[in-house]
Amino acid sequence: MTGRLADKRFLLTGAARGMGRSHAVRLAEEGADLVLVDLCRPLPELEYPLGTEDDLAETARLVAGLGRRVVTAVTDVRDAA
């Protein structure tokens, strides 16, 4: 694999859609393998919808389609403290 990020691995939060997805695809285009995580559920304090598990799977499909290794996890990385 060639690319500026060949043999590099990245962990991306909020990867289900939007900027997270666009960053994931760009990193994969540059040769990176990715671990993609997202909350994948609504939060009552937000007025807009968050990504879903289907959205996260689509991001993974796009990355894998570029020939990169990808692992996904639905997880909450927030820390209010």
Kindly state whether residue 1 falls inside one of the protein's structural domains.
Answer: no
What is the C-alpha to C-alpha distance for residues 53 and 51, in angstroms, rounded to an integer? 7
- Give how many domains the chain has, as a whole number: 1
Residue 4 located in a structural domain:
no
Q: What range does the domain containing 55 cover?
A: 9-74
pLDDT of residue 1: 66
Residue 24 backbone class (left: φ over 0; alpha: ψ -120 to 50; beta: rest): alpha
Q: Which stretches of 1-81 are DSSP H helices?
A: 18-29, 53-65
Q: What is the pLDDT of residues 8-17, one digit of tens each?
A: 999 999 999 9
From the list 32, 21, 4, the residue with the least C-alpha distance to 59 is 21
pLDDT the model gives residue 2: 78
What's the pLDDT tens digit per position in 24-58?
999 999 999 999 999 999 999 999 999 999 999 99
Closest CA to 15 of 68, 77, 79: 77
